[in-house]
């Protein structure tokens, strides 16, 4: 069992940056795949990006891949989401999730994730 907690959300102006972190407790990420998702009211939760804990490979959605970067800190057992050039449409609750299936073609699928954090709000203002 692993517990996930996101941090780093807040209010930022368009064009600014935020860095979200996902901390795990209970066990290390080990060979997990760790994903970031976001959701706005009335919309489905959407994939933002994912990282392989084992080798650091990453994959981000087309809408953020030129602006967001995912990294891992093995010593701290955390995964970070660096968000640059933020846009109004990036406003959402951001969730991290972990899948014990590891990192593979399934990382964009919500149903493949076993553990979820409670989310952190990111609000981008004009």
Kindly report, residue by residue over 12-61, the tens digit of the pLDDT.
999 999 999 999 988 878 878 999 999 999 999 999 999 999 999 999 99
In the predicted structure, residue 7 carries a pLDDT above the cut 90? yes
Tokens representing 14 are 């368009």
Structural contact between residues 122 and 12, judged by C-beta atoms closer than 8 angstroms:
yes
String of b and e for 83-109 (b: at least 16 CB within 10 Å)? Answer: beebeeebbbbbbbbbbeeebeeebee
Lowest mean pLDDT among 12-16, 31-35, 75-79, 118-122: 31-35
Angstrom distance (rounded) from CA 51 to CA 67:
16
Burial class (CB in 10 A: 0-12, 13-18, 19+), 125: exposed
Question: So what's the pLDDT on residue 32?
Answer: 87
- Who wins on pLDDT, 100 or 12? 12
What mean pLDDT value characterizes the chain? 95
Question: So what's the pLDDT on residue 65?
Answer: 96
Closest CA to 90 of 10, 34, 33: 10
In the predicted structure, residue 96 carries a pLDDT above the cut 90? yes
If pLDDT is split at 50, 70 and 90, which confidence band does 8 have?
A: very high
């Amino acid at each position: 069992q692993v517990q996930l907690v996101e941090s780093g959300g807040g209010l930022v102006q368009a064009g600014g940056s935020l860095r979200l972190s996902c901390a795990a407790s209970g066990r290390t990420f080990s060979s997990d795949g760790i994903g970031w998702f976001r959701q706005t009211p009335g919309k489905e939760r959407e994939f933002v990006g994912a990282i392989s804990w084992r080798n650091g490979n990453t994959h981000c959605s087309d809408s953020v891949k030129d602006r967001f970067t995912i990294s891992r800190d093995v010593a701290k057992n955390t995964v970070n989401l660096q968000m640059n050039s933020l846009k109004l449409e990036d406003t959402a609750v951001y969730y991290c999730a972990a899948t014990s299936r590891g990192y593979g073609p399934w990382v964009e699928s919500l149903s493949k994730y076993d553990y979820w954090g409670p989310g952190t709000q990111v609000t981008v203002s004009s």
